[in-house]
Structure 1
């Protein structure tokens, strides 16, 4: 059962003010918008729904849960290596690696935990375990923070109004809850992804001439 302190700690971790630099990454969305594949609020919602159900979010949440349950340093290293291996492009790996390092540094500086640098979802899972935070709530808030960050990116890039961005987050909240609930019951045998268009967009973003976001 989550305590008020648990909820507030997770709210702090996934707040835009927490220094992981999430505002700087679009996960390939910037490229899809630049190419005209994403033009409207409905397009953004469909794009995010695809990433949630068929892209990297599922794998990241499974790896978060695996890191939470890891019992040995060797097991944690293997989970982190798997997360790196599953990155579909150089920029996707950079996104996970740099956000993970920033998250670990901030957590080490603020809370009394021994947290070595890890990829972002693995770092979140490990930190939640070290601080005895509830796994499913951690996973839910991780997934919703992902959606919220990219909805905010779409508000700037499409552009969309702030209200449209919040409607997208609200519409996808049940999916965030469902994916988190299933992912925390999964293991390495359940890792999968099939969102080639978003992966290719992330690859092409690496050479995009004019861009605002790092990925």
Structure 2
């Protein structure tokens, strides 16, 4: 991999990317409230399950196909797929989260003039916009390898989950690093599974995540927006 590609991947996966990732726990805080997550082991199990059974067959697979559509600037297919993804969000806060982060990444792309004018024009037409579609745009216009882009997205997701667990369980920093070490091979498996998933097999069915997210909307005390 070229240094330019690596630095672009690190940029996209960075927690310093100003899209508001730190504001969300994607159901983890509600799982802590329900005592499904109690310590480092249960936090690791939650994150591994999310990677293999939610992201791999949902968001990661979706990003892979949107990446290819961005390469060809297929505006109609991009818009239709993004509408379907947004409709698949199982709770109001999950939908708000992806729309807010998608909007923020879109504004960043315009401000930094990522990509060519034609694809930025297509990006402008996508309103509302999901985060995965915006991420696929960023990866495609930086001409990154799709497998590496999926790994960056998955690692950024896992890192944010660890950060949320450190605050919400709470866990120590060392426990968090142990989880990140443990999920490295899981990320590889999740990306491989995603790349083998055709569009018609993309599946966001995760009912307990939807239930926990819906509960979180009215949770009495919380640190995160979702």
How far apart, in 1, do the equivalents of 2:57 and 2:112 lie? 29
How far apart, in 1, do the equivalents of 2:55 and 2:193 lie? 15
Q: 1:104-115 to 2 correspondence within 5 Å? A: 104-113=106-115, 114=120, 115=123
Q: Work out whether residues 64 and 126 of structure 1, in 8 Å CA contact, stay in contact via their aligned partners in 2.
A: no
**What is the CA-CA distance between 1:190 and the residue it aligns to?**
1.8
CA RMSD of aligned residues (A): 1.5
Which residue of structure 2 lines up, in the alignment, with residue 151 of structure 1?
162
Are 1:95 and 2:110 matched, yes or no? no
Change over 3 Å in CA distance of 1:95–1:206 after alignment to 2: same
1:59-102 Cα distance to aligned partner (Å, 9 max, x none): 11111111111131000001111210111111111111111111
How far apart, in 1, do the equivalents of 2:195 and 2:42 lie? 29
Which residue of structure 2 lines up, in the alignment, with residue 135 of structure 1?
146
Which residue of structure 2 lines up, in the alignment, with residue 192 of structure 1?
203
Q: Secondary structure at the match of 1:214?
A: coil
Q: How many residues in Structure 1 have an aligned counterpart in Structure 2?
A: 214
Change over 3 Å in CA distance of 1:137–1:62 after alignment to 2: same
**What is the CA-CA distance between 1:196 and the residue it aligns to?**
2.6
How far apart, in 1, do the equivalents of 2:153 and 2:108 lie? 16
How far apart, in 2, do the equivalents of 1:185 and 1:64 lie? 12
Which residue of structure 2 lines up, in the alignment, with residue 82 of structure 1?
84
**Unaligned segments of structure 2, at least 5 residues:** none
Which residue of structure 1 lines up, in the alignment, with residue 48 of structure 2?
49
Which residue of structure 2 lines up, in the alignment, with residue 204 of structure 1?
215
**Unaligned segments of structure 1, at least 5 residues:** none
How far apart, in 2, do the equivalents of 1:24 and 1:141 lie? 19
Q: Secondary structure at the match of 2:17?
A: coil
Change over 3 Å in CA distance of 1:173–1:161 after alignment to 2: same
Q: Work out whether residues 51 and 198 of structure 1, in 8 Å CA contact, stay in contact via their aligned partners in 2.
A: no
